[in-house]
Amino acid sequence: MEIEGRRFEEYLPFIDEETKERIVALAAKLEGLKLTHVNATSFGGGVAEILRSLIPLMNSVGLKCEWEVIEAPNDFFNVTKKFHNTLQGADIEISQEEWELYEKVVEENVRKLKLAGDFIVVHDPQPAAIPIYHNNGKRWIWRCHIDLSTPNESIWKRFSKYLRSYERYIFHLEEYFQPDLRGRSMAFPPSIDPLSDKNRELSEREIKSVLERFNIDPSRPIITVVARFDPWKDLKSAVDVFRKVKEEVKNACLIIISAMAHDDPEGWILYEEVKKYVGKDPDIRILTNIDGVGNLEVNALQRVSTVALHTAIREGFGLVISEALWKGVPVVARPVGGVKLQVINDFNGYLEWNVNDLARKVVKLIQDPAKRRLFGERGRETVRKQFLITSHFERYLKLVEEMGRGKTGE
């Protein structure tokens, strides 16, 4: 992937002097180090978004950082979506033929990829088996972006064999560590880029242009859900919550925003299911990249939101939470995975499980502008301190610096 991005100096307004000095000192020690990231897609989902910002940032301080994306047919991604679901606990069979297809495609990719880094960070299950076929003196790191707290044990037993060559394993939360990997595991959360089109400040003209294009009335209470069409996101519950809210807030509207990623064939099936569930309700809009919704459009729609809603029943981290909080929008969500790190109940949002309770908290925020403003201010500061790309960047620098000194955790 050839990408352009911003330099470290451009992020200085978001960090304090002490953080700046730590990052500069670490970068000086690592100047010239080669690091390669490998994942399954260049578009759609949080991993690609993070890499699009993180890699130019790393290069701007003297590292030599590259991004490789695997190539694979849809059948491969059907198998890896089964990995995604079973590693999060689903009871799904994976046939011997599917395991063999996975291995075959990964092996084929090893012959195509450059993998030139001294350190290679492999993201998620799709390319995880690469070191099995390419382990020529490289230092391997597996970065897992899904919830591994309760995996399907039989699938994990076989899948984990692909991970034996990795020196370190990175998870969003310590509760995702697996017993057989714990000694070499570390937890750090992902991040958002405050200067990207999805998160930068927008002018009134830019926001107005987006609203007019999609015929959205900003005077109405707007509830937004930003999520991929994935069974774990439970988007039908988001629709149920909205219908409960409408019983009290008659002029409310719901906008479901999503990106259809090429490595997720299941997403199209769920998209059609949710559309059917919504029916012809004029107060619910489903907007995707197919409709021309890109990062700037997501940004604008989040900024005019009254409340952000998140109904996922499993969530690796949920960067959409940080995106909303960064824009001063309070969040009502289920307390799953990394959501619990970002939303502090009754401080910058609300955490509830069932549909009725979620709806009550959404209504409460719609009817209390002062609380919305207070929660919004607190939410932005929460993200500034913990979940910006600069924090993510520093954690990577610390990790490779430690590994370079031979600290593998073993």
- One domain, residues 229 and 375: yes
Q: Which residues have C-beta within 8 Å of that of residue 153, sequence separation ≥ 6?
A: none
Phi, psi (5° rounding) for residue 37?
-105, 140
- Mean pLDDT over 307-335 rounds to 96
- Mean pLDDT over 202-225 rounds to 97
- One domain, residues 396 and 363: no
pLDDT of the residue at 262:
61
- One domain, residues 63 and 142: yes
Whether residue 180 is contained in a domain is answered as: yes
- One domain, residues 113 and 125: yes
- Mean pLDDT over 42-53 rounds to 83
Tell me the residue range of the domain where 400 lies. Answer: 8-191+388-404
- One domain, residues 73 and 178: yes
Q: Output the average pLDDT for the chain.
A: 93
- One domain, residues 379 and 393: no
Tens of pLDDT, residues 373-388: 999 999 999 999 999 9
Residue 220 pLDDT exceeds 60: yes
Split at pLDDT 50, 70, 90, the class of 259 is: confident
- One domain, residues 117 and 217: no
Identity of residue 254: L
- One domain, residues 266 and 152: no
pLDDT of the residue at 409:
39
Q: What is the CATH number of the domain that holds 44?
A: 3.40.50.2000
Whether residue 316 is contained in a domain is answered as: yes
Split at pLDDT 50, 70, 90, the class of 263 is: low
- Mean pLDDT over 392-402 rounds to 94
- One domain, residues 172 and 309: no
- One domain, residues 159 and 249: no
Split at pLDDT 50, 70, 90, the class of 1 is: low
- One domain, residues 185 and 208: no
Whether residue 171 is contained in a domain is answered as: yes
- One domain, residues 185 and 273: no
Tens of pLDDT, residues 50-109: 999 999 999 999 999 999 999 999 999 999 999 999 999 999 999 999 999 999 999 999
Whether residue 373 is contained in a domain is answered as: yes
Tens of pLDDT, residues 108-156: 999 999 998 899 999 999 999 999 988 677 899 999 999 999 999 999 9
Whether residue 262 is contained in a domain is answered as: yes
The fraction of the chain above a pLDDT of 90, given in percent, is: 86
Domain tally, the chain = 2
The dihedral of CA 69, 322, 223, 225: what is its sign? positive
Whether residue 142 is contained in a domain is answered as: yes
Whether residue 1 is contained in a domain is answered as: no
